Structures are given as C-alpha cells and as structure tokens.
A and B are shown apart, each in its own frame.
Chain A
C-alpha cells in the first residue's frame, strides 16, 4: 500500500499529470465538444500526487519553503473544490422602484451545497445612469440598489459593470442588458386589480424594436409598442437615465392601434388595461463564491513561498551580477 502511495506521489506521476493537464486544457479549449473531464481528471491526479509527495518526498518535506508552497497549492485545490460546491451564478432583471423577488433570479449555475441567502432582506432597484461615447460605446454604469435589513437603516449601494454591489456575499454586477419598463394595471370586470410591469427590449442595442407581446389575464393577445423621448446619439457623448423620461404606449389588437399616455386606459375583453407609469429596468449578473478572498490570499502566499524558495536558490547568481557588471 505504502509503495503504491509512494509511486502515486512520485515525480514521473507529477510530470504525467502536468502533460495530461496541458493537453487537456488545450484540447478542451481548441476543439469544440470535449468534456471538462479532460481538465478535471489530470487536476485530480495532480492534487493526489501533490498530497502524497508532501508526505513521501524528502526533498519537499525537508525544505520549509518548498513544503509551504506545495501545502498552499493543496489548500487552493480544496478551496476551489469548496467554491464549486457553494457557488452560485444567476441573472436578474429589476425594475426601478421594484423590490427583488429571489424567485425571479434565473439560475445559471448552482453548487449542490448552496442555499440562497437573499430572502430575508429587501433589495429595491433605485435610479441608474449609463454613459455613452460616440457610436454608442458603453462606458460607466452607476446603478443604485437600496438594501433594507429588518430594523437597520437602509443602505444604498452602487453597482457597475466592473464594481459589484456586494449584498450578503452576493456580487451584483450590471450588464449591457437594460431598458424601459411600463407599469400596467389590469382591472377585471369582476373588480379584481393586478399590477405588473412589462420590460421592453434592451436599449439602445434594440432601440428600433421597442415592442413586446402580452396576453391579458382574460386571454386576449396584445402587441405593445413603446415610443419614448429617449434617443441614442451616434455623434456625441450622451447618458441614459430616467431623467425627464416620458413615453406613449401603443396597444395593437385585431388590426387597430390605440396610443395611451401615462394614466390612460383601454377597455378590453374581460377588463380594462391602464398604463400607469414608465420607468427603467436593469439586468444584473449575480455571483456568489465565499472562498474568493481565501483563494486570493492562498495564491499570494503560494507565490511568496515559491519566490522564497527560488530566490534563495539563486542568490549566488544574482549577487554575482554586481561583479559581472
């Protein structure tokens, strides 16, 4: 058994693992359709080899710097695996003034041990602005998120593309996906009233296609077109925000169309539709990885330990440079 462990922790196995990982990474990246196992299996082999080498290779366990470096590398593998178990990634669209409902998050990746921790607080979308330079190149985004935690004073966080609003460990990043949203009220003939919002396609990416289909609770299909006073500008700098935002909602059904100003309504089959107000929505990318900070620290310490080992072994060479010059 010990012999097998020694073999698994030997240098030839390490080299084999490295070559397999090198090939696996390249094939996985360059040839479509290959599995992530091409990377995962060599990584697993290398992790095992690393662990055993620390126990059985005297060159490693007798040298403090080398032992520290390999131990931190092992720790990093454990942290990365833990991160995969607890990881969460999702997308969300939030309308200004709207409180986030965690059920609206579209989950992209979720580790098996992840439990969503966003339910016991209120996250409300505030106003946002997006700067553009000519030819509609998007620059900085500033999006406000108000967070209410029970009895505590509400806090306002600002999220951008590059700077996340961190809420309970979840990192909220803005995306290029954002646009206008209409708040509609449906008043049924029976006297019920439902309030909801309809998000129109991303602006200005799909400025020419600000329309959306919707089926009323009574089952009548509608085509909604939005005409706002906001225009992109290909020639000069401009900012997208809800400042002085106004718009007309055109409701099309069965070949006829009717324009509604804010506050106006239209009688439809089974009820009445009221165009209550116009606001904006923002698309977010949400990620959660509790080991990020530890992984960063481990990586820095690993490089420090490696530098300690390498420079100690090369001190004579670098000292000789002074005489050589």
Chain B
C-alpha cells in the first residue's frame, strides 16, 4: 500500500517535471519536431502519460474513480486539462504559441497535488451513479476548453500591451476569433455540466437544485459567461476588456472547481 502511494507520487513528480520542461523548452528550441508537434508538446504528452499512470495506480488502490478527495480531483484535472490542451494545440499553431498560461495552470495544480493530503476513502453510495460520470466528464471538457480560451486571452492581452510585434493584423484577429470560439464551446459544456449535475443530484439527494455552495458558484460562473456573451454581442467594447472578462470567468471557474467544494462545510461533499 505505502509502496503504491509512493509510486503514485513519483509518477506525479515525473509528470510535473515534464511540464516544467514543456514550459521552458520553447525559450531554447521552437522548431516543429513533426508536423503540428513541437518539442514542448512532446514533453506535455509525456506529462499527460505520467498523470494518467498515476490515476490508474490511484484507481487500483481506492477501488473507485478519482471523484471524492481533493487529491483525486486535482490529479484527474491535471490529466484532463493537459489532454484538452494538447488536442487543441495539435489543431492550431496559435494555441501552441499561446499555451504558456495553460501550462502554468497545470503546473500549479501539479505542485498543489504534491502538498495535498493523500488519503483514500470509500465511494459514498450517492456517488455510485452513471450521471456522475456524465457530470464529471462534461465538467472536465468545460474547464479544458475554458483554459484554452483563457490561455488565448492572456496571449491576446499580452499582444494588446505591445507584445508579439511580428504578428500580422490577420493573425491577431484570428487569435481573438479563436479565443471566443473556445469560450463559447466551453459555455455549451458548462450548461451540459449543470444539467447532468442536476440529474445526478435528483437521484443522489432527491432534489435537482438546492443552492449549495458548489451549485451556487457553478451557477455564478455560468451567469458570468452569459453576461460576457451578451455584453460582447450587444456593445462594442475594446478587446482588452473582453480578455479581462474571459480571465475573470476562468478565475470563477477555477474557484468553483478547486475552492468552493473544499472551503465550505456543506458543499456536495457535505451531502454524502
């Protein structure tokens, strides 16, 4: 048991190391290794592999998926965020250029993992439900897509402050459009996450919505996205403010995923 836990932490440390390499290697070597893949992406891929292996070890130890403890949620998120980022990077050179913020966020989660209590508990009966899988899966896709949008937004913000002088006007416009497209896609998945969560809550606790802290913060994130979509569609704001809005939405989403469930005494966890 202790050996397995030790192996799991080693795998996580190896994953973090790969992401550190992925973060710093573009400073020295930017050329593509194969079409659509640069060296940073290769290291990211290796990091994802290590995180996946750590999830497998954890799953074997706990006998259930990574749904309950903070450690498990951080671990599954490092994998899912990395996975969505790499898929998006394969399809777009702009995302490859803008992936710095996303890699930093994944690294923050990775280091957070190393200092989080690594205890294993049984799966509560209310978590043994197929809708939980749907809820978690679409939630991970939402956060992944939103992270890509945020990464592009941070890149756009840097550009708007005078960075990337070699980029053409068309390339800059593409980054705006791409960030917005990912933001909208993440909004669809956020909506699906709320629906799947409501169905699960109905089965688990006999109510589909109860304004518990996690539900409230998820709704607030959704509402902030609705607000930004309406503002952008109705008014002509400078792109700078749209970038700021997208970053704020990610901060809200990040708090919903990794803050709200663990600072309150009665989130979903309390209803177990």
Q: Which residues of A pack against B, CB within 8 Å?
A: 11, 14-15, 18-19, 21-22, 25-26, 28-29, 39, 89, 133, 137-141, 160-164, 171, 173, 285, 287, 289, 292, 295-296, 299-300, 302-303, 306-307, 310-311, 313-314, 316-318, 320-322, 324-325
Residue pairs across A and B with Cβ atoms less than 8 A apart, 5 shown, are A25-B223, A162-B125, A162-B129, A314-B181, A317-B177
In contact, A18 and B188 (Cβ under 8 angstroms):
no
User: Measured between C-beta atoms, what is the minimum distance from B155 to chain A in Å?
Assistant: 15
- Report the nearest A residue to B213, measured CB to CB: A29
List 9 additional A-B contacts (Cβ < 8 Å) besides A29-B213, A321-B91. Answer: A14-B230, A15-B227, A15-B231, A39-B211, A138-B124, A162-B204, A287-B206, A306-B187, A310-B187
For B93, what are the chain A residues with a Cβ–Cβ distance below 8 Å? 324-325
- Which one of A26, A141, A289 contacts B125 once the chains associate, using CB atoms below 8 Å? A141
A318 & B181 in contact (Cβ 8 Å cutoff):
yes
Chain B residue contacts of A162, Cβ below 8 A: 125-126, 128-129, 203-204
B216 contacts A by Cβ under 8 Å: yes
CB distance from B259 to the nearest CB of A (A): 13
For chain B, the count of residues having a C-beta within 8 Å of the partner chain is: 45
Within 8 A of A (CB), among B79-136: 90-94, 121-122, 124-126, 128-129
A to B contact number (C-beta, < 8 Å) = 112
Among B198, B220, B230, contact of A25 (Cβ-Cβ < 8 Å)? B220
A139 to B231, CA, bound (A): 47
Question: Pick the contact of B224 from A22, A28, A171, A318 — CB < 8 Å?
Answer: A22
B220–A173 CB distance below 8 A: no
The answer on a CB contact under 8 Å between A29 and B230 is no
Asked if B125 contacts A139 (CB within 8 A), the reply is yes
- What A residues does B199 contact at CB under 8 A? 296
The 7 closest A-B pairs by CB, nearest first: A29-B216, A317-B181, A314-B181, A321-B91, A310-B184, A287-B206, A325-B91
Distance of A311 Cα from B182 Cα, bound (Å) = 10
**Residues of the A chain whose Cβ atoms lie less than 8 Å from the Cβ of B219:** 25
Main secondary structure of the interface of A (DSSP, over half): helix
Contacts A314-B184, A324-B92; A89 near B121 (Cβ below 8 A): no
- Distance A141 CA – B125 CA, assembled complex (angstroms): 8
Most A Cβ at <10 Å: residue of B174, B206, B223: B206
A310 surroundings in chain B (CB, below 8 A): 184-185, 187-188
Instruction: Determine whether the beta carbon of B90 is less than 8 Å from that of A325.
Output: yes
On chain A, the residues within 8 Å of B224 by CB distance are 22
Give the docked Cα–Cα distance between A301 and B174 (Å): 31
Within 8 Å by CB of B192, from A11, A15, A303, A313, lies: A303
- Asked whether any CB of chain A lies closer than 8 Å to the CB of B202, the reply is yes
Decide: B122 and A133 in contact? CB cutoff 8 A.
yes
Interchain CB contact under 8 A, B202 and A18: no
**With A and B bound together, what is the CA distance between A14 and B174 in angstroms?**
30
Complex: A320 Cα to B176 Cα, angstroms = 13
A139 contacts which chain B residues (CB < 8 A)? 122, 125
Inter-chain contacts of B122 with A (CB < 8 A): 133, 137, 139
